[in-house]
Amino acid sequence: MKTLKSNLKQPIIFARIIAVSIAIFLCASCDNGNGKRLAKAKNDPAGTYREYLSDIRRQKRLSIKELTGHLKQWQTLRDSVFLYLECDTLGRLHSTVKEECEQIHDSIRMEFSRMVLSQTRTYKDILWVKEQISPHLEDKELHRVAETIRPFFASLDNQPVSQRNRQHILATYQATLAETIDYGIHCMADLTTFIEKEDAVYRAFLSRLPDFDGENLSDITHDTERCCAQVFLAAERNDITYRNAMIYLAMRTNRRLIQNVRTCIDDICNKKVKTPAQAQAYIWMLLQPYSSLDGFCLALLSAEEREQLDMLALQTPDAFRELGRMLHPGDNRLDELPGMLMEAFIHTL
């Protein structure tokens, strides 16, 4: 099952590659007095940041919407403070100012951790926070392009799924990946063909997920990496655009994550998870949308996919409780897990 967990990690790895590849500097305006702070930051960055820390320390129990609003303010002010420090090419500010701002930054982050953990959070809350503070949320051009691509991904559901045994599914999966590696990706038709064929074998794989307990899937893991690398190599050769490479792979990631979680919850409900090793792997897969989906991927979700994720988020606590009973009977403090995941996310900002 350890190799299964490694295989299912690949969509997340490439989601992060996509996020890094398209990262852009964004400094949006913000209300509630933040405009004055942004102006003040140019003359006194440390003092401005320290003042914001004092304000945050006075905050107590915040709703998820209030918390998100403060996170947006922090991002804007943080960008202003550190951008000004970086632009201080004449050395007008003493080097200790930057160190002080970094220390204040860590303190602010700890205060947000306190506010997150001050009350129970949900898995829907995690998705909502990530979505709302994403710099891509209001990217109309990105949404327009995604809408033109979406019919292709919707059509994937029409592809038949193999009902054969696990040996045949693995052999077909390996052959599909090998074909892509051997031929390469040289145009958009090659990219869509790869995604179409891989999606069909991946759904077949998920249909028999419990059967692969203990199966060595390292070849599939490695070849999947090589196939996705082919997409970026095609972009480097200008066979396809980087924009298409990133958007198609991100939408592929979204689709696979939703398929993973839906399969896990169905298998748990149908009592197909039998061993502690399987339970541990299923826990890891259930966590993926909340621990790994970034703002770019979330911005590319359709309304239907977003609704599906919210529904799965509502079902996730019961699924975790069922798996928890298999691993550690008794109080597993599972209600605290969404808050801890949200805290971990804030520490990456």
- What is the model's pLDDT at position 40? 54
Name the residue among 146, 74, 155, 164 with its Cα closest to residue 113: 74
| Residue of 327 and 72 predicted with greater confidence | 72
Per-residue model confidence as pLDDT tens digits over 170-196: 999 999 999 999 999 999 999 999 999
Ordered DSSP codes for 292-322: H--HHHHHT--HHHHHHHHHHHHHHHHHHHH
- What is the model's pLDDT at position 88? 62
CA dist 157 and 192 (Å) reads 14
The CA-based angle 226-230-235, given to 5 degrees, is 150
Per-residue model confidence as pLDDT tens digits over 230-243: 999 999 999 999 99
Residue 338: alpha-carbon gap to chain centroid: 14
Q: Residue 41 belongs to what H/E stretch? A: helix 34-41
